[in-house]
Amino acid sequence: MAQTSRIELKSPREIDLLRKAGQISAEILLALKEKVVSGMTTKDLDIIAEKMMRGRGAVPSFLNYRGYPASVCTSINDEVVHAIPGKRRLKEGDLLSLDIGMFVDDYCGDTATSFIVGGKATPEQERLMQAGRESLQASIDAALLGNRLGDVSHAMQSVVEKAGFHVVREYGGHGIGRAMHEEPHVACYGAPQTGIRLVEGMVLALEVMANAGTAAIVHNSDGWTVLTADGSLSVHYEKMVAITSHGTEILTPH
């Protein structure tokens, strides 16, 4: 299969390196979340994130990626993904999606989460976040040796749609290794028992993007920010997993 041959399977040694990159990425994501307070700008958060990364011997992977000008993505409310940090101030009740990525000893970590600034969610925000978290977990549970990629995508889609929300079609997860984005693309929607088979040595960054309104998205004029077309809320959760002979391991525990 042509598609399979482009997938770089990782040796146990490489999985060790990705585990280290993933672990540091997860720790920094949690530490960064702790720093979020209303009144700060998203640029403040970016500066803190870059310091945290460099302090751990990591190099930001988003910075200069296809010209991206920051070390993190800070997507608020109706922003789905890839919003560039800037002068905008966070306020209580904002739904913030934080996505961070870095190289550690030449291997990539990439992980994201969504939460409410100040911690007090409305019932709708809470339901959307819960659907996103459960969707990602369902996709991880389906990422079993011998299952197929469609099983993973289908699990993700099912949880989101059962909750009455919608997955984004145009973006998804991906293989990850020495490059942030490797084959295969992992869509947030799919049919069971379709797609390539999961084999030992695959490392995937699974990502769910769920919108409260419709699945439709638009891009803004900066060329990066992805927004819901209808202005409804959106969440983004991402974790890296390794498919190994002794099971599926989460490389970014948080």
Chain residues in the site for ligand MF3 (CB under 6 A): 62, 65, 68, 73, 82, 99, 101, 110, 207, 238
Residues in the chain: 254
Between the CA of residue 83 and those of 11, 32, 165, what are the distances in Å? 34, 17, 21
Closest to ligand MF3 by CB, 165 or 237: 237
Near Co ion by CB under 5 A: residue from 94, 99, 151, 182: 99
* C-alpha–C-alpha distance, residues 122 and 234, integer Å: 14
- Shortest reach from residue 47's CB to ligand MF3, in Å: 16
* C-alpha–C-alpha distance, residues 186 and 203, integer Å: 11
In the region spanning residues 32 to 91, those forming contacts with Co ion, defined by CB under 5 A, are none
**3-state secondary structure at position 214:** coil
Per-position x/- string for 187-206, each x denoting binding to Co ion as judged by CB under 5 A, each - no binding: ------------------x-
CB atoms within 10 A of CB 122: 12
Which listed option, Co ion, ligand MF3, none, makes contact with residue 30 (CB within 5 to 8 Å by class)?
Answer: none
Which listed option, Co ion, ligand MF3, none, makes contact with residue 134 (CB within 5 to 8 Å by class)?
Answer: none
Closest to ligand MF3 by CB, 92 or 170: 170
* C-alpha–C-alpha distance, residues 145 and 171, integer Å: 24
Question: Which amino acid, one-letter code, is at 31?
Answer: A
* C-alpha–C-alpha distance, residues 101 and 82, integer Å: 12
Closest to Co ion by CB, 79 or 238: 238
Rg (CA), the chain: 17
Which listed option, ligand MF3, Co ion, none, makes contact with residue 22 (CB within 5 to 8 Å by class)?
Answer: none
Which listed option, Co ion, ligand MF3, none, makes contact with residue 68 (CB within 5 to 8 Å by class)?
Answer: ligand MF3
* Residue 110 lies near Co ion (rule: CB under 5 A): yes
Contact between 104 and 20 under an 8 Å Cβ cutoff? The reply is yes
Interacting residues toward Co ion by CB under 5 A: 99, 110, 112, 205, 238
